[in-house]
Structure 1
Amino acid sequence: MNQKELAQHIIQKYQEDEKIMVLLFIQWCQDQNLDPEKLYKEAYPAQPANSFLKQLMDDQVSTDMDIDAGTLIQVMQTFGNDDLAHVIAKYAER
């Protein structure tokens, strides 16, 4: 595998993992009767709406998994979404 192929593979893997992260977030929000877009906006008020989040919500993809807040928070932090992890923790305490 040459450098270009390796770089493309890494990018593709990151995008796949990012999709899983967003799907877990959506599923957790649905399980808690929360609006994922509202929580995202609370975490990142200066950013525009997340089109990827909206797309996956519109696709109505369900993971059929029971996701606990602690795991979701760790996943968010792994991807550098610390502000969203903080908002999730706040709502999980309720």
Structure 2
Amino acid sequence: MNSKDMQEKIIENYQRDEQMMILVFAQWCVNNDLDPEELYKRAYPKQASNPSLKQAFDLTVSKEEAGEIGDQTLLGVLSMFGNEDLAFVITEEIEKRKKKNGKK
């Protein structure tokens, strides 16, 4: 495999993994009755709407059909892709949920 082919393969893999991260985020939002676009806009207010997020949201299932996605799992996935701003917004939502449910 030459250098150009290797670079293309790395980019392909990254894009596929990034799409999986977006899908995990979108499904976590569905599972927690949150709007993924609203959270994304809070994290990245200067960015236009994200077509990858819309595509991922179309692939989500109802929370009854979905498996559980743990909060720490989502935060870890976001961290792997450097989405600290989105992780911060997610952490705020987790704290709101804990307060609402009477947990510390």
After TM superposition, the score normalised by the length of structure 2 is 0.83
Distance 1:11 1:60 in 2: 22
List per-residue Cα deviations over 1:3-25 (Å, max 9, x = no partner). 01100110010011001100100
SS at match of 1:89: helix
Match of 1:70 in 2: 72
Identity of matched residues, %: 48
Distance 1:40 1:66 in 2: 21
Match of 1:13 in 2: 13
Give the paired residue count.
93
Distance 2:20 2:67 in 1: 12
* Worse overlay, 16-25 or 47-56: 47-56
Unaligned runs of 5+ in 1: none
Q: 1:81 aligns with which of 61, 80, 83?
A: 83
* Worse overlay, 2-11 or 65-74: 65-74
Residues 79 and 87 of structure 2 are in contact (CA less than 8 Å); yes or no, is this contact kept in structure 1? yes
Give me the CA root mean square deviation.
1.4
Distance 1:69 1:41 in 2: 20
Unaligned runs of 5+ in 2: 98-104
After TM superposition, the score normalised by the length of structure 1 is 0.91
Greater gyration radius: 2
